[in-house]
Amino acid sequence: MKRILLPTLLIFSFLSCKKDNNDTPKPDNVKDRELLNLQIKDFVWKGLNTFYLWQSDVPNLADTRFASSLQQTNFTSVAYTNFLSNYKTPEELFYNLLNKSQRIHGREGAIDRFSYITDDYTKLERSFQGVLLSTGMVFELTPYGREGGVLGFVQYVLPGSEAEQKGVQRGDLFLAVDGTPLTVSNYRTLLFNDKTSMAIDIYRLENVNGQKTIQKTDKSVVMAKKEITENPILVKKVIEKGNHKIGYLMYNGFVANFDKQLNEAFGEFKSQGVTDFVLDLRYNGGGRISSAIYLASMITGQFKGQIFAKERWNRKLQPIAEKRGGVDNFFTDEMVTESKEKLTINSLNLSKIYILTSQRTASASELVINGLKAYIDVVQIGDVTVGKNQGSITVYDWIDDNSNRNPKHKWAMQPLVLKIENAKGEGDYTSGLRPTFQMEEDLANYGVLGDEKEPLLAKAIQTITGITDKRLPSEPEISAKGFIHSKSFNFAANEMYK
């Protein structure tokens, strides 16, 4: 990706691979704390005024809103200082400055569903590297039973994790955590907390008198939460069907640290002579734009140098970006890893691909689907995707032209800064990308990921070969659609960032 070099505040910062010192000095008196709080809010306003995609649509972010105060650093402008002081915290200011944020207006009334802010950018950076505190159990929550009840179901388990060691597997169900029944009012407290462990009783769906019924098993597990790095390449294999060699890859996140391993996986597919390819993005919420470009280039290979995606920034930055040549992203035959190693991309030169999706497929995943559609035949199987056609950058409180950050705090913003479209100018999919073949995951027939009988993969194989072993139901018996995902509170959820 090309970097746009701009003076002072307008420095586009990429995520550091180094772990920052957590010992940020704290102000030692009330006056200093109040001043620091004001300085952080100043950083929030000026950062959004510069970078935010919808800056021109938010009256309080207008360049003329405080006129002469924009260049002031000592808060002598009464109007500007009073405005910042009206908000108790930088977080409150941030969400009130967004263009109808989901946090304030709800999902239905929101325009900006995805911008966010954090008071600890170290955690943010590590989440972008695939690092998370987890048992290794990736799950979804759905309403269940009595009013307000909640059921958890396991989608997959991370290899080598505590959950795998304790025998947790895809399709396991749970209704309580640490002995307390899950409800819509307590699931955040029970599941998304700083506790170092969690205990669950395992339930399974069993046939009882011809009907699928949730039954408690004799398995109870206590799992420690540990800091683990998720390899987004969960399953890779080749399935042979007649004269078809079908490559299958379940890829769960565009994490730059794993670009090399992704390229190696495509090298294996290439050496095995795959004729068809199934890319499983059903649980992929997005990630780094450059990783998406590399993946698209691995799938194809015949479009080197042609436009893969176009970026559309706000009215201030678009002319600068165009002048610097930074709005177009191109297919490539070479990649640069996070360790600055240059590698030749292993490409399959495909003219058709089958992509599995769900309601959790988002952002950079949608970029790959939409970007490829301008060049090759994309057969999408599964559910409608999230509909995130915007990208973000990390905005730090830079204090000079060398990307040095304010040492007094660790606040950073991840605002939406660009819209993205394919080479044909197509990018209006905020309501999601609709599949060629609509199929929801079914808890009653969940299957094993990567197994050719797993319903979504089975549909892809049937479509490739034209051979129908058995009819696959279009409607699920028990929908595996939830209202919250275990990664929903992870910074990297639903991301597409530079």
pLDDT, residue 30, reads: 77
Distance of CA 357 to the CA centre of its chain: 14
455 φ/ψ angles, rounded to the nearest 5 degrees: -50, -45
Q: Which CATH architecture has domain 233-389+427-497?
A: Alpha-Beta Complex (3.90)
State the CATH class of domain 133-229. Answer: mainly beta
Query: Using CA atoms, how far apart are residues 101 and 93, in angstroms rounded to an integer?
Result: 12
pLDDT, residue 223, reads: 98
Q: What are the tokens at 495?
A: 């991301």
- Give ∠ CA 152-387-307 in degrees, rounded to 5: 130
Whether pTM exceeds 0.95: no
Distances (CA, A) of 236 to 232, 246, 257, 393: 11, 11, 18, 31
pLDDT per position as a tens digit, 368-426? 999 999 999 999 999 999 999 999 999 999 988 888 999 999 999 999 999 999 999 99
pLDDT, residue 497, reads: 74
Query: Using CA atoms, how far apart are residues 137 and 132, in angstroms rounded to an integer?
Result: 12
Query: Using CA atoms, how far apart are residues 207 and 346, in angstroms rounded to an integer?
Result: 46
265 φ/ψ angles, rounded to the nearest 5 degrees: -60, -40
Counting as low any pLDDT under 50, the low residues of the chain are 1-23, 72
On the CB side of 255, CA atoms within 13 Å amount to: 25
pLDDT, residue 75, reads: 53
- Helical ranges in 349-436 per DSSP H: 364-373
The three-class DSSP label of residue 130 is coil
Q: What are the structural domain ranges in the chain?
A: 30-126, 133-229, 233-389+427-497
- Write the burial class of residue 279 (CB in 10 Å: 0-12 exposed, 13-18 middle, 19+ buried): buried
Neighbours of 399 (CB within 10 A): 15
Query: Using CA atoms, how far apart are residues 156 and 161, in angstroms rounded to an integer?
Result: 11
pLDDT, residue 146, reads: 75
119 within 8 A of 409, measured Cβ to Cβ: yes
- Give ∠ CA 291-333-11 in degrees, rounded to 5: 50
pLDDT, residue 25, reads: 55
Distance of CA 280 to the CA centre of its chain: 15
Query: Using CA atoms, how far apart are residues 171 and 446, in angstroms rounded to an integer?
Result: 7
- Write the burial class of residue 15 (CB in 10 Å: 0-12 exposed, 13-18 middle, 19+ buried): buried
- Give ∠ CA 385-388-393 in degrees, rounded to 5: 145
